[in-house]
Amino acid sequence: MQRIGIMGGTFDPVHYGHLVTAEEAYHRFHLDKVVFVPSAHPPHKLDKVITSPAHRYMMTVLATMSNPHFEVSSIEIDRPGPSYAVDTVAAFRRDYPNDTALYFITGADAILEMLGWKDSTTLLRMCDFVAATRPGYFIADGKIAEIFGENAPRVHFFEVPALAISSTDIRARVRQARPVRYLLPDIVISYIERAGLYVVRRRLNIPACFARDYDRWSEVLG
């Protein structure tokens, strides 16, 4: 029987917190591999500006390529519409043998809000959930049982020291020209620099008729 970890996330950008979480889950739950699934259109961020899926996918590939038990899937990027976890897990269920054990890896804060996710009851029947917590985080067994009822045994918590790293903080650091080394892999830092991600672009006096094409003008004008 295979044991597959599904590591969903925006990965904007992917960082050592994500990688350490996946590695810890791999060992803790005796997984055969962990598949990173960058989301195309996260339902909880539809009103926010996020980096293009192509950039986030490439950064995730670069960050994981040296680890033989990490893979990256474009399943959510290839699928139109919002990126719902239930649709992704259902796709994994179709692609793997029936006896495959699936473990959806996410953060503790997200797992406690899971009942608000699309088709959460169906989702809990299809896979186990692995919730990463920061050191010192505590949630009583009674609280888990209260939230998840009979599905509580399918929800697992484990501690990850590197969770203090934040994609939001990394983006802010890049904008402010502050150091990000040791927060994410060097190869991802190089990609961010080459692609010009997360920097504040200089305002240009662009003719109004071209205002909607600002990105293309920025590339042309450097």
pLDDT above 60 (res 1): yes
Residue 148 structure tokens: 């998840």
**Model confidence pLDDT, tens digit, residues 108-134:** 888 888 878 899 889 999 999 999 988
pLDDT given for residue 201 in this prediction: 55
- Per the model's pLDDT, the better-predicted residue between 151 and 219 turns out to be 151
Closest of 166, 197, 184 to residue 62, by C-alpha: 184
Q: Which amino acid is at 75?
A: I
Are 129 and 106 in contact by the 8 Å Cβ rule? The answer is yes
Residue 159 structure tokens: 């501690």
With pLDDT > 70 as the criterion, what percentage of the chain qualifies? Answer: 88
CA–CA gap between residue 163 and residue 132 (Å, rounded): 8
- Please give the average per-residue pLDDT across 52-77, as a whole number: 97
- Distance (Å) of CA 90 to CA 35, 48, 95, 117: 14, 26, 9, 14
- Per the model's pLDDT, the better-predicted residue between 219 and 168 turns out to be 168
Q: Which amino acid is at 138?
A: F
What is the chain's Cα-based Rg? 19
Among 58-72, 83-97, 101-115, which is the least confidently predicted range? 101-115
Length of the chain: 222
Q: Which residues contact 127 (CB under 8 A, 6 or more apart)?
A: 6, 89, 92, 102, 103, 104, 154
CA–CA gap between residue 50 and residue 35 (Å, rounded): 22
CATH topology (fold) of 3-221: Rossmann fold (3.40.50)
Report pTM: 0.86
Closest of 183, 179, 134, 174 to residue 158, by C-alpha: 134
With pLDDT > 90 as the criterion, what percentage of the chain qualifies? Answer: 63
**Model confidence pLDDT, tens digit, residues 156-179:** 998 887 678 999 999 999 999 999
CA–CA gap between residue 86 and residue 15 (Å, rounded): 25
Check residue 164 and report its DSSP letter: G
Among 45-54, 79-88, 170-179, 205-214, which is the least confidently predicted range? 205-214
pLDDT above 80 (res 187): yes
Residue 156 structure tokens: 């697992």
Whether the bond into 13 is cis, omega within 30 of 0: yes
